[in-house]
Amino acid sequence: MLSFEQHTPTKVVFGKDTEMQVGKLVKEFGGTRVFIVYGGGSVVRSGLLDRVVKQLEAEDIICRASGGVKPNPTLAKAKELIAESIAFGADFILAVGGGSAIDTGKAVAHGTANPDKDFWELWLKKIPLTKSLPIGCVLTLSATGTEMSNSAVLTNEEIHSKKGLSTPFNRPAFSIMNPELTYTLPDYQVRCGIVDIMMHTMDRYFCGSAGWGNELTDQIAESVLRVTIAAGRVAAKNKCDYDAMSELMWAGSLSHNGLTGLGGIRDFSTHGLGHSLSAWFDTAHGASLSVLWGWFAEYVWREIPSRFARYARNVWGIVEEDDEKAALAGIKATVDYFKELEMPTCFSEADIPVQSEEMLATLADAPTANGTGTLGSIKKLTKADAIEIYRMANH
């Protein structure tokens, strides 16, 4: 087992009607002027934003709400909201929505606390982030795990670059998780979320052998996957099933708060490659992962056949003694499950129009720092490897 640190300070308040505690929670964490960040309007239509504002006002907390964050949130929108938040004099950021609203909320917290710094330079860690504002979340979509994670992702549209920032300042002070708030989701987003939850565990479980050896972490990861797959099957048919939506919501948080990879190393290649699809074609995050994972797995499994075989046996119940056959059966079971969820598993199914070799190479630029870096730990993927995986998916 490798040495590790785990600090997940987020106070989780889980269950029905928990959004009614938002005023008290903001007060508990010292907020007096709250800037609320939300998305394209789902929280207005559902009445959630109204309930949240009323709870804040009941605690004499001054607040201002600003929306318009789109999926695959942009740097430009974050900067706009940072300016609003500074002008308002916010001392606390509250994000109400899915991963895009929450990640933008995290960006607004950092930007508001550092008005004199170049924000993109902060995001790329060219300037160290040394302070931020506290952030709270009311989650409406189970997927990204951002409600407990130390990361946030923005797209710089000018250069087609979607980049994550990992910092302890990204861990929310509190997250309100009421599974009933997810009932209004479009079916497609529920399914994208299921893939994302699985991938956050798989991108830790499938790693170079230096990261193996923590049996407890491995069994937690396998359990999170089994439960997510089963709850996902129920949720895909009935997104108003409280138990299934609850399992998914909690699995989403545990998948990406660090727990499923403790004492190991990670391989987030599929995420890195997927972000380029989102940056160029606005592909939904979960879809970028379902499109690529099967091809990525096919490309790398021979490096660690026993790991893929263990996954096949312990997650999918595949009975096969031969490691290589088991590994391939596990990859097939995963891709079949994505298909069962009606998620895309190649470019054409996700409306990703790549027609030239040149474009495949362009896609590979951002994840490999223009060919100067590598991705992942199973096999250190070069730009040429990345191009090959995109080529496999391009039909």
* 111 part of the interface to ligand NZQ, by CB under 6 A: no
Shortest Cβ 84–Zn ion spacing (Å):
28
Give the 3-state secondary structure of residue 14. strand
Tell me which residue of 254, 275, 257 sits closest to 155, measured CA to CA: 275
For CA atoms 348, 353, 355, 358, give the dihedral sign. negative
Binding of residue 181 to ligand NZQ (CB under 6 A) = yes
Contact status: 273 vs ligand NZQ (CB under 6 A): no
Tell me which stretch binds ligand NZQ (CB under 6 A): 75-83, 180-188, 301-309, 332-340: 180-188
Binding at 39: pick from Zn ion, ligand NZQ, none (beta carbon under 5-8 Å per type): ligand NZQ
**Buried residues in 256-286 as b, exposed as e (16+ CB within 10 A):** bbbbbbbbbbbbbbbbbbbbbbbbbbebbbb
Binding mask 363-392 for ligand NZQ (x = CB under 6 A): ------------------------------
Residues forming a β-bridge with 36: 65, 94
Triad 270, 273, 274: Cα angle to 5°: 80
Establish if 196 lies at the interface with Zn ion (CB under 5 A): yes
Under rule CB under 6 A, which residues in 65-94 are in contact with ligand NZQ?
A: 71-73
In the list 18, 149, 246, 394, the residue contacting ligand NZQ (rule: CB under 6 A) is: 149
Selection from 257, 196, 258 nearest residue 228 by Cα: 196
Give the up-direction half-sphere exposure of residue 371: CA atoms within 13 A in the CB hemisphere: 5
172 binds ligand NZQ (CB under 6 A): no
**H or E stretch including 168?**
none
Least distance CB 245 / ligand NZQ (angstroms): 10
Tokens of 113: 């606390």
d(CA 349, CA 338): 12
Least distance from ligand NZQ to the Cβ atom of residue 53, Å: 16
In the list 49, 113, 137, 152, the residue contacting ligand NZQ (rule: CB under 6 A) is: 152
- Residue of 239, 242, 10 lying closest to 147 (CA atoms): 10
The residues of the shown chain that bind Zn ion, judged by CB under 5 A, are: 196
The residues of the shown chain that bind ligand NZQ, judged by CB under 6 A, are: 39-43, 71-73, 97-101, 103, 140-141, 143-146, 149, 151-153, 181-182, 184-185, 189, 192-193, 196, 256, 271, 285
